[in-house]
Structure 1
Amino acid sequence: MTETNPDPVARQPFRLTITPRQRQAPPVTLLDWIHRRPEYRPVVRSAGGAGGGRAGFSDAVIIAVVAQALLPGLFNLLQSWVDQQRTEASIRIQTGETEVELQVNGRTDSARLLAQATEALRIARAEQTGTETAG
């Protein structure tokens, strides 16, 4: 299974909703951390109002719409921020009608996070389209 996937759904952009958890304001917000890399500036933004979110959430929710090729770098940035802040974040990933949610903490490996996201999306797509194998 080393062939490329011609499935058009696999080429759709991913929409990520990233929700960092922080008890106090971090020295560098997650959005500023991600925007240090120029390729993410046009595709990653705040979901709305600055500050004043739910208790335990320092950044407003962050929205990203990225090509699959940008996911590894984005996950690396997210993981390095989580490690530095000693905090957690949740990521809701959507592509087409498929959605999965993953938790990121200091013990998460960014490569494993990518594999987990890819596999969860593949399974969710299969379930939605009824292409799962039966008996």
Structure 2
Amino acid sequence: MTDVDSATRQPVRLTIIPRHRQPPQVALLDWIHRRPEYRPAVRSAGGGGGGRPGFSDAVIIAVLAQGLLPGLFNLLQSWVDQQRTEASIRIQSGETEVELQVNGRTDAARLLTQATEALRAVREPGDLPDAPA
């Protein structure tokens, strides 16, 4: 197994923070839980207190294999489009962390590409494509 294979099998931790001016028609967690494969891995971080006012129940934590990211990003993008809102995603894999913004102009496939490239760039800083030769 190559390093790339092992990296794609490594679980990632996502913190998803939806932003909305008014209560959504369907809560993001409920939207994600419509797909049974995400129910055990995706949960609310709120638990009724602790975080910033108004945000504790909106923050969602997911720990899942990178292979499940395309479906999760598609669900998130469809929710953002339906709610006409935005969200931010903080993705952690090992010691690596990146943050991405999702809005109505974001493409789910591009989001996956951005996440993959950002995680790879942080893991392998000497191999950045913009590094001077």
TM over 0.5, shorter chain: yes
2:56 and 2:25 map into 1 onto residues whose CA distance is: 11
Task: Give the conservation status (yes or no) of the 8 Å contact 2:47–2:57.
Answer: no
Is the counterpart of residue 126 in structure 1 residue 124 in structure 2? yes
Partner of 2:70: 72
Query: 1:80, 1:57 → 2: CA distance?
Result: 21
Other structure's SS at 1:103 match: strand
Task: Say if 2:34 is the partner of 1:14.
Answer: no
TM-score with structure 2 setting the length: 0.86
The equivalent of 1:90 in structure 2 is: 88
Residue deviations 1:61-108 (CA, integer Å, cap 9, x gap): 100011111100000000000000000000000101101000000000
Is the Cα contact below 8 Å between 2:8 and 2:67 reproduced in 1?
no
Letter matched to residue 87 of structure 1: T
Task: Check the 8 A contact 1:34/1:78 in 2, yes or no.
Answer: yes
Pair 60,104 (structure 1): closer, same or farther in 2 beyond 3 Å: same
* Superposed displacement of residue 59, structure 1: 4.4
Aligned length: 129
Identity score, percent: 78
Query: Aligned equivalents of 2:82 and 2:112: distance in 1?
Result: 20
- Aligned residue in 1 for 2:27: 29
TM-score by length of 1: 0.85
Cα 1:63–1:82 shift into 2, 3 Å: same
Q: What CA distance in whole angstroms lies between the structure 2 residues aligned with 1:26 and 1:89?
A: 12
Is the 1:50–1:59 contact (alpha carbons within 8 Å) kept by the matching residues of 2?
Answer: yes
Moved more, 12-21 or 45-54: 45-54
Task: Give unmatched runs, 5+ long, in structure 2.
Answer: none
**Structure 1 residue 55: Cα displacement:** 6.3
> Which ranges of structure 1 fall in alignment gaps of 5 or more residues?
none
CA-based RMSD of the aligned residues comes to: 2.3
* Structure 1 position 134, deviation (Å): 7.4
